[in-house]
Chains A and B, each alone.
Chain A
Amino acid sequence: MKKVAIMPCNGVGRVVSTITRESAYKIHALRPDATILISSPDLATDNPETLLNAKKYPLIVIDGCKPRCGSNIVKAKGIKPILEIYAPLVCANKKIPLSGETRVKLGLNGAWLAEAITEIAVQAIDDLLSNKIPTIQKNLPFKIYMDNEEILSRL
Chain B
Amino acid sequence: MPEKVCILPSSELTTVFGKIGRQASYVVCEDLKPGKIVLGCMPALFSNVQEDVDFITQYPVITLEGHSMHHAAKLVKKYSQVISAEIDIKNLLKEADIEVLDSSPEKLGPNGEKAVKFLAEYTAKVVERLLCSRPGLEHSNL
Q: Is the CB of A41 within 8 A of B106?
A: no
Closest 4 CB pairs of A and B: A69-B43, A39-B13, A44-B46, A45-B71
Asked whether A9 is an interface residue with its Cβ less than 8 Å from the other chain, the reply is yes
Q: Mark A37-61, 1 if CB is under 8 A from B, else 0.
A: 1111110110100000000000000
Asked whether A78 is an interface residue with its Cβ less than 8 Å from the other chain, the reply is no
Contacts A12-B9, A45-B69; A73 near B44 (Cβ below 8 A): no
Total number of A residues with any Cβ neighbor in B under 8 Å: 28
Residues on the A chain within 8 Å of B41, using CB: 11-13, 17, 69
Instruction: Give the contact-size bracket for chain B.
Output: 20 to 34
Determine, out of B18-26, B81-89, B92-100, B121-129, the stretch whose residues face the partner at the interface: B18-26
Q: Is the CB of A12 within 8 A of B11?
A: yes
A23 to chain B, nearest CB (A): 11
Chain A interface (Cβ < 8 Å from any Cβ of B): 8-13, 17, 21, 24-25, 37-42, 44-45, 47, 67-70, 72-73, 76, 103-104
16 chain-A/chain-B pairs, Cβ below 8 angstroms: A8-B13, A10-B43, A13-B41, A17-B41, A38-B13, A39-B12, A39-B18, A42-B12, A42-B13, A42-B71, A68-B47, A69-B47, A69-B49, A72-B43, A73-B43, A73-B46
Q: Is the CB of A41 within 8 A of B39?
A: no
Cα distance A40–B22 in the bound complex, in angstroms: 14
Cα distance A25–B19 in the bound complex, in angstroms: 12
Residues on the B chain within 8 Å of A41, using CB: 10-13, 18, 42-43, 67, 71-72, 75
Asked whether B74 is an interface residue with its Cβ less than 8 Å from the other chain, the reply is yes
Q: Is the CB of A21 within 8 A of B46?
A: no
Interface centre among B10, B12, B47 (most CB of A within 10 A): B47
Cα distance A24–B30 in the bound complex, in angstroms: 25
Residues on the A chain within 8 Å of B30, using CB: 104
Cα distance A47–B67 in the bound complex, in angstroms: 10
Q: Is the CB of A37 within 8 A of B13?
A: yes
Residues on the A chain within 8 Å of B42, using CB: 11-12, 40-41, 44
- In addition to A12-B26, A39-B14, 6 A-B residue pairs with Cβ atoms within 8 Å of each other are A13-B39, A25-B106, A39-B12, A41-B75, A72-B46, A104-B23
